[in-house]
Copies of this chain bind each other. A is one copy, B any other.
Amino acid sequence: MAAPIDFYFDFSSPYSYIASEEIEAIAERHGRALNWRPLLLGVVFKSAGGTPLTEGYGPKARYVVRDFARSAAHVGVPYRHPSVFPIGAVAATRAVLWLQRELPAQVGPFIHAVYRAFFVADRNVSEAPVVMSIAQELGIDPARLAAGVQEEAIKLGLRAEVEQAIERGVFGAPTIVVDGEMFWGHDRLAQVERWIATGPF
């Protein structure tokens, strides 16, 4: 059985969002399972030294906002730059771990719904009530989820997940790992697919 694809993502990362809309089809085309691996980029950046792309040097910040929309349009993914950006989506990120334990079939739909709420509908998914409302729209019990994201096991689980990613060498998002090979960026998906289809190059 071929190894699954590890897909590391952060809810505040536009390039992770774009890649999230394409990675399942790649996995399906090649009979691979997909592991959604949530990150908190703010924690990763404390080790790896990065900063949000829209903070810092003005011309670069303006360029990337243009590039988010253009790169999304290039692959046919809807994009509207959020009015509050970047965010720290701790509740939504913990919710992914809770769903992986309690309702695994909802993991993919929930991730897509959170991303589209943020990057298309301009809903502030850093706010827990917004996350619970998105969950409810998917038929997930918002009270159970609200309790779940406060569980100590889930909090510790997310911390361990992020630390494990950093130990593995993850420094940004999206990061895709397949058969031990690491790829960084939505713009590496063609390389990911080639690697899966025909092996190392």
Contacts and interface: CB of A to CB of B under 8 A. Distances in A.
A185 B71 CA distance: 12
A201 B73 contact: yes
* Copies held by the complex: 2
Contacts of A47: 57
A103 B67 CA distance: 36
Given A59-B171, A71-B191, 5 more contacts: A49-B57, A60-B171, A63-B169, A74-B194, A187-B187
Given A57-B49, A194-B74, A63 B187 contact: no
A47 B57 CA distance: 8
Main secondary structure of the interface of A (DSSP, over half): helix
Interface of A: 47-49, 56-57, 59-60, 62-63, 66-67, 70-71, 73-74, 169-172, 182-185, 187-188, 190-191, 194, 201
Contact of A171 (B63, B171, B183, B201): B63
A80 to B, nearest CB: 15
Contacts of A71: 191
Contacts of A56: 49
13 contacts: A48-B59, A49-B56, A57-B171, A59-B171, A63-B171, A67-B184, A67-B188, A70-B191, A73-B201, A74-B190, A74-B201, A187-B187, A187-B188
